[in-house]
Amino acid sequence: MLKRWLPAAALLGVLALFFLLGLDKHVSFASLRENHGLLQDWVRRLGWKAPILYVLLYIAVVAFSIPGAGVMSLAGGFLFGTLLATLCILAGATAGASILFFIAKTSLGDPLRGRAGPWMKRMEEGFAENALSYLLVLRLVPLFPFFIVNLVPAFLGVPFPTFVLATFIGIIPATFVLASVGAGLSSVLEGGGEFSVGSIFTPQVMTALIGLALLALIPVAYKKRKARGGAHPRSAP
């Protein structure tokens, strides 16, 4: 039983240490603004190793649920350009989320389901029936913290391949938006201007993401409509 809880305890321990050491102040837009020149110099000196190190760092940030993934996405766009940054972020975020999902599923998922009441089972059955569509919606519309969307599916018994596929596809639009904005941050960083990740998701951007989310729900609506039609067959003439 102790071995089952060790991975989850390690994640919590690293997260607590991160804040105790005050490292959170280094994963901020203010830090990016102050050190953008140094970061650019490191990327030039590291060459092809720089994107690999960036992906590994992104994996760690997501896997340990460290706040700052949005800033890292902006930094990736600034350092590598829109296309390369998008690919790196997709790789890092998907891998990190998958690690956290796997740990939560193996360490916490079974005990939680075992102690929960019938409501948990009903939620699990309903979510599993349309897991891909529901996860795509949660990924496409960034209304909930990223780490929450990594954990909840693990507790609801979502299959690992479904989680990975939905995560990779679902984060593409928002990732591209963040990388594109990051690629155009040079003037803001050099001028010392203020900026926030929240300001990126304007009503226009959110409308587009919600539209994609609604498209992802079409299979769910179709299944429900088909089920209702099958439940009330027409009487024979």
Dump pLDDT digits (tens) for 24-54: 666 677 777 787 888 899 999 999 999 999 9
Answer yes or no: is 205 within a domain: yes
* Residue 122 falls inside a structural domain: yes
The span from the CA of 50 to the CA of 44, in Å, is: 8
What Rg value do the Cα atoms of the chain yield, rounded? 21
The domain in which residue 118 lies consists of 2-225
- Name the least confident of 38-42, 136-140, 212-216: 212-216
Q: Is pLDDT of 215 > 60?
A: yes
Q: What is the pLDDT of residues 159-193, one digit of tens each?
A: 899 999 999 999 999 899 889 888 887 766 665 55
The residue behind tokens 């970061």 is 39
Query: Which of 21-25, 71-75, 90-94, 157-161 comes out lowest in average pLDDT?
Result: 21-25
Query: 112-124 burial, b for 16+ CB within 10 Å, e for fewer?
Result: eeeeeeeebeebb
Type and span of the H or E element at 103:
helix 82-104
The answer to whether residue 232 is domain-embedded is no
Q: Per-residue pLDDT for 66 more than 90?
A: no
Contacts of 95 (CB under 8 A, 6+ apart): 55, 59, 62, 63
173 within domain boundaries: yes
Does residue 125 belong to any structural domain of this protein?
yes
For the chain, percent of residues with pLDDT exceeding 70: 61
Residues 6+ positions from 114 with CB-CB distance below 8 Å: none
Given the structure tokens 């720089």, which residue do they identify? 50
Q: How confident is the model at residue 209 (pLDDT cuts 50, 70, 90)?
A: low
- Whether 235 maps to a domain, the answer reads no
In a domain, 230, yes or no: no
pLDDT band of 116, cuts 50, 70, 90: very low
Q: Which pLDDT does position 236 carry in this prediction? A: 41
Count how many domains the chain has.
1
Across the range 74-78, mean pLDDT stands at 90
In a domain, 233, yes or no: no
Is-contact 50 42, C-beta < 8 A? yes
